Amino acid sequence: MKRVRCPKCDNYITFDEKKYTDGQSLVFQCPQCGKQFGIRIGVSKLRNTQKEDTPEDNAEGNEYGYITVIENVFHYKQVIPLQMGVNTIGRYMKNSGVNCAIETNDPSIDINHCTITVSRDKNGSLKYILKDGPSYTGTFVDNVILGDREQRRIEDGTLFTIGATSIILHAPSTSQE
* AA letter at 144: V
Which pTM does this prediction carry? 0.65
The domains found in the chain, sorted by start residue, are 2-40 (no CATH), 50-170 (2.60.200.20)
Give, in degrees to the nearest 5, the angle at Cα 150 between 127 and 156: 30
Residue among 25, 1, 31 at smallest CA distance from 14: 1
Per-residue confidence in pLDDT tens, the chain, 177 aa: 788 888 888 888 888 888 888 878 888 899 989 988 888 877 554 444 444 444 445 444 578 899 998 876 656 788 999 999 999 999 888 777 788 888 887 888 898 899 999 999 999 999 999 999 888 899 999 889 998 778 999 999 999 999 888 999 999 875 444
Q: How far apart are CA 81 and CA 50, in angstroms?
A: 9
User: Is the CB of residue 56 less than 8 Å from the CB of residue 68?
Assistant: no
In angstroms, rounded to a whole number, what is the distance separating the alpha carbons of residues 113 and 95?
16
